[in-house]
Amino acid sequence: MKDGSLRMLDDMIARRTSDRPSDGAIPAPHLKLEPSSGSLDELLSEVPCEQVSLGVSAGIYSSGMNVALQRWPQIDTESIVAPKSPALMPPWKPHRQKVTTFGITFPEGVALLAPPAAPEKGKGPATDETEEELTSIEPPRPASLMDEATLAEAKKKLTRLKPPDDALSIEDRLFYLLQPPLQSWLGGQEMIMPFEPFPYQYEGIGWLFSKSAALLADEMGLGKTMQTITAIRLLIRSGQVRRVLLVCPKPLLPNWQREFRTWAEELPFVVVEGDSERRRLTWTMPGVPVLIVNYESLVRDFAAFGEGEFPKFDLVVLDEAQRIKNRTSRTAETARALPRRRSWALTGTPIENRPEELGALYEFLEIVPPNATPDLRQLQFLAKQFILRRTKNLVMKDMPPRLDRDEYLELLPAQKYAYEKAEKEGIIHLNDLGDSITVQHVFELVLRLKQITNFDPLTGESAKLDRLEADMEEIAASGGKAILFSQWTKVLDWLAKPMEKYGALLYHGGIPTKHREPILTKFKEDPNSHIILMSYGTGAVGLNLQFAGYVFLFDRWWNPAIEDQAINRAHRIGCKSQVIVTRFISKDTIEERIDKVLTEKRELFARILGDGDDCNQSLSMNASEIFGLFDLKARHGKGTKNIGRNKSA
Amino acid sequence: MSHGNHDPFRMGFLTAVEDAERGFVGGLLITNRFGRPLEFQCTAPVKPNRAQQILYGPTLRPFVLGELLGRTLIDKIGVKPHLVLIETDEILDLRQHVSIPVAYFVNKVTDESTQLSLGKLGIAFHPDYLADREEMVRHAKAIPGDADMREPFERIREALAETIRLGTARTA
């Protein structure tokens, strides 16, 4: 073995030596080979050597994997969808970026179907998703007084809902921003609108929709009722409210029912009426979206329920909300105690006498703390946020004009005699009263004199009646209709006879409530009925008599706001032509003096309030002004007084 | 009221706004056939990074608006629409990534084979998915003829501007 190894080593050395170039440029580093040096054995004897055995065995060790190594690998196939066409974007991405999202779901609204009898030409049931085919419904008719240009402009400008100022969460704000414009929402597909609202009415509807506390104080006749009903309808449709309570004065119950049928025929409503048992059932009846009740029943029924038992409402609407201006009255206390989420108040006269009256309304709206007395600056600040008031002056372009004419009439001889006598005796009587004189005494004299200016009680002579007959002849001949207002039912009854030939109808507090609605229907539909005789108290509020083109104020009310309310029965949205308002004022009488006082006050407040609000600041005459009619001074304890009229007055 | 098996027609309106600082924000509004909202989803702002801008070049906008924002929104929306409407054909290729028909608006229907009248306007479908058009013919009848189909995009833009405003206010 040793010999063999050495031989191999010799061979290797020999090969390397022979491969080296002859010039011997790279000598071997370790071995210095010289021919004269001794044998190989000698060389190796100097290198330490160790014998290594090359007999390696080739056996296989068991590792446990041997069998697995012998198996064929399993291969699965999978088909890949190749792109149909070459695209710029690579269809496969190594990493898809994650995007964070945020979303809101809109509440499911209440879908109500119109009464089945509704379909007729241009009208169909309120469509719902149950019908995929589009029902043929005409869009709402524009009011006939809208000219083409106004109509085109109105169509162009869409009314979008705005989030209320107090909506802070993004969900709340997006809810309003993502609602469709009112014009398309009320476009006649989802909801039937009998008439196209005016632009300012769209604005009012949108404003109400987004408010949880709102005072809609539009001047009478601008359509507060319609705006309120439509806003309620939209709130119910969008699932924002489910139960609404509407409170109104008793005489207006039929009016609200009629308006609900007109503007929201698919919306069921129930009037709370009948005996106490029935009313209690009505209050607790489930599934009624709208309850209508008068103030008196509300106060009574609320007291009948135990504490915390009164049903809750999503929305409470007070019509003619000036009814709660006295915040300590039971009506006001009840209204404030109603469990509710939203509060709306409607009134054409938010301030009847004093700005503080607004405080009571703000308290109902829960925008001021209980018993708060906000000052004028605070009232104005809150008004900007919570009150929407438009006057006819501001929206006059949407309305036909109202022509006011004051007819100054000379008393007839018998009237004049009776008047002068009564005034003379009356003043003497007042003078005799001395310090015991009160405003009531003066008031009585004023009333007596006013009655004589209407007609002489002895002879029945009346300058006003003569003038009225002359006007009515013309009105009846042209097929027109007139409303006459007086503060006395006695005067109305007296007028009924001479007006009989014009188909006169009587409508005052002496007429039972259930008979009143047919009277209005007859006045509207009977072509021979040309005049309706109304008292201010019963006929001034809430009625829609826009088909009447003439209004007569036979005598004057103390408060111009009430007179305006009366006039606005005829001069309101929907009237097709101008309304002529005639005020009868007897010359050189107490009427003329009252008119002067009221006119001056109206002008004064118009200057203060501005904004075209010159005709509805309701400013009753106060005690000193009533005394002043006879140049008397209001007494405060012991005071001197000038009795008797100043001749120069 | 029972709807039974009836599945009322729903439309999705998809668009996005670009904020110079924060990037693209996408919004998808689902409405019923009259435009009343049912659900709304929007994305957080997405700003493409420099690498994406270089890699995608001119296809960056279609990628971000369609594949990234649009597809995410359609995936996330709970009330699934029958049709997704977009304003232009810029992101029409979104159709390749979703199973819902996608169409964009044209002022006038010029090609009956790929287009369809919807409201006052016409809509055009992806040329590779012409079956979408046939599917929508039935639903199109449920849309009022005078409906302004572009109007919901205005609402979305306002809503997105509001979310950006509120988002900015909160982070400020």
B60 reaches A (C-beta below 8 A) = no
Cβ distance A178 to B9 less than 8 Å, yes or no, reads no
Max mean pLDDT range (A35-39, A137-141, A397-401): A397-401
Q: Is the pLDDT of residue A609 over 80?
A: no
Max mean pLDDT range (A21-25, A33-37, A392-396, B123-127): B123-127
**What CA–CA distance (Å, rounded) separates B163 from A28?**
85
Which ranges of A157-219 does DSSP label H, i.e. alpha helix?
170-177, 182-185, 199-209
Confidence of residue A145 (pLDDT cuts 50, 70, 90): very low
Q: Which position has the higher pLDDT, A637 or B128?
A: B128
Give Cβ neighbours of residue A299 (< 8 Å, ≥ 6 apart). A330, A331, A334
Query: Within chain A, which residue ranges are assigned CATH 3.40.50.10810?
Result: 198-398
Judge whether B121 lies within some domain.
no
* Closest Cβ opposite residue A177 in set B3, B59, B155: B155
Q: Is the pLDDT of residue A510 over 80?
A: yes
Q: Is the pLDDT of residue A637 over 50?
A: no
| Confidence (pLDDT) at A282 | 94
B166 reaches A (C-beta below 8 A) = yes
Residues 104-143 of chain B with CB under 8 A from chain A are 128, 138-139, 141-143
pLDDT one-digit tens code per residue, A9-21: 556 555 554 544 4
- Asked if A273 and A302 count as a contact pair (C-beta separation under 8 A), the reply is no
The pLDDT mean for chain A works out to 77
**Which regions of chain B are under pLDDT 50?**
1-4, 172
| Confidence (pLDDT) at A565 | 76
Cβ distance A100 to B151 less than 8 Å, yes or no, reads no
**What CA–CA distance (Å, rounded) separates A197 from A573?**
10
Q: How far is B3 from chain A (nearest CA, A)?
A: 6
- Residue closest to A342 by CA, chosen among A223, A232, A237: A232
Q: What secondary structure does DSSP assign to chain B, as a single string?
A: ---TT----EEEEEEEEEETTTEEEEEEEEEETTS-EEEEEEEPPB---HHHHHHHGGGHHIIIIIIIIIHHHHHH-SS--SEEEESSGGGGGGGGG-SS-EEEEESS---TTTEEEETTEEEEE-TT-THHHHHHHHHHTTS-TT--TTHHHHHHHHHHHHHHHHHHHHH-
Q: Is the pLDDT of residue A6 over 80?
A: no
Nearest CA in chain B to A160: B155
- Asked if A395 and A198 count as a contact pair (C-beta separation under 8 A), the reply is yes
Mean pLDDT score, A222-243 = 92
Q: What secondary structure does DSSP assign to A8-53, as a single string?
A: HHHHHHHHHHHHS-TT--S--SS----TTS--HHHHHHTS------
What is the Cβ-side half-sphere exposure of residue A426, based on CA atoms within 13 angstroms? 23
| CB-defined contacts A:B, below 8 A | 130
pLDDT one-digit tens code per residue, A258-310: 889 888 888 999 999 999 899 999 999 988 999 999 999 999 999 999 888 89
Interface test with A, best of B24, B28, B34, B92 (most A CBs within 10 A): B34
Mean pLDDT score, A476-490 = 89
B161 reaches A (C-beta below 8 A) = no
**What CA–CA distance (Å, rounded) separates B98 from B83?**
11
* Closest Cβ opposite residue B166 in set A111, A170, A180: A170
Q: Which of A578-596 are b and which e, b meaning 16 or more Cβ less than 10 Å from the residue's Cβ?
A: ebbbbbbbbeebbbebbbe
Confidence of residue A312 (pLDDT cuts 50, 70, 90): very high
- Residue closest to A221 by CA, chosen among A534, A535, A544: A544
| Confidence (pLDDT) at B157 | 95
Max mean pLDDT range (A80-84, A215-219, A243-247): A243-247
pLDDT one-digit tens code per residue, A41-73: 776 666 676 777 766 666 666 677 777 777 787
Cβ distance B39 to A104 less than 8 Å, yes or no, reads yes
| Confidence (pLDDT) at A210 | 93
Instruction: Say if the ipTM goes beyond 0.90.
Output: yes
- Asked if A118 and A171 count as a contact pair (C-beta separation under 8 A), the reply is no
| Confidence (pLDDT) at A144 | 37
Phi and psi angles of residue A573, each rounded to the nearest 5 degrees, phi first: -55, 130
Q: Which residues of A touch B32 (CB under 8 A)?
A: 129
Total Cβ atoms within 10 A of residue A553: 23
Q: What secondary structure does DSSP assign to A554-605, as a single string?
A: SS--S-HHHHHHHHTTTSSTT--S-EEEEEEEETTSHHHHHHHHHHHHHHHH
- Asked if B29 and B155 count as a contact pair (C-beta separation under 8 A), the reply is yes
Interface test with A, best of B9, B36, B42, B49 (most A CBs within 10 A): B36
Q: Which residues of B touch A101 (CB under 8 A)?
A: 41-44, 72-73, 76
Q: Which residues of A touch B137 (CB under 8 A)?
A: none
* Closest Cβ opposite residue B144 in set A104, A111, A189: A189
- Residue closest to A528 by CA, chosen among A500, A566, A489: A500
Residue type, A112: L
**What CA–CA distance (Å, rounded) separates A26 from B71?**
75
Which ranges of A402-531 does DSSP label H, i.e. alpha helix?
413-433, 439-454, 463-477, 489-496, 513-525
| CATH at B157 | 3.30.420
What is the Cβ-side half-sphere exposure of residue A581, based on CA atoms within 13 angstroms? 20
| Confidence (pLDDT) at B66 | 92
Q: Is the pLDDT of residue A606 over 70?
A: no
Interface test with B, best of A99, A104, A160, A196 (most B CBs within 10 A): A99
Judge whether B61 lies within some domain.
yes
Query: Within chain A, which residue ranges are assigned CATH 3.40.50.300?
Result: 402-628
Looking at domain A198-398, its CATH class is alpha beta
Q: How far is A263 from chain B (nearest CA, A)?
A: 20
Domain count of the fold of chain B: 1
Nearest CA in chain A to B60: A89
| Annotation: CATH topology of A402-628 | Rossmann fold (3.40.50)
**What CA–CA distance (Å, rounded) separates A572 from A547?**
10
Mean pLDDT score, A552-567 = 81
Judge whether B32 lies within some domain.
yes
**What CA–CA distance (Å, rounded) separates A450 from A431?**
20
Cβ distance A129 to B29 less than 8 Å, yes or no, reads no
| Confidence (pLDDT) at A188 | 59
Judge whether B26 lies within some domain.
yes
Instruction: Write the CA distances from B164 to A174, B45, B169, integer angstroms.
Output: 12, 8, 8
pLDDT one-digit tens code per residue, A183-197: 888 875 677 777 788
Residue type, B52: Q
Q: Which of B32-63 are b and which e, b meaning 16 or more Cβ less than 10 Å from the residue's Cβ?
A: bbbbbbbbbbbbbbbebeeeeeeebeebeebb
Sign of CA dihedral A508, A512, A517, A520: negative
Domain extent, residue B153, equals: 10-102+148-163
Interface test with A, best of B162, B165, B171 (most A CBs within 10 A): B162
| Confidence (pLDDT) at B64 | 92
Mean pLDDT score, A567-573 = 77
Give Cβ neighbours of residue A427 (< 8 Å, ≥ 6 apart). A445, A630, A643, A644, A645
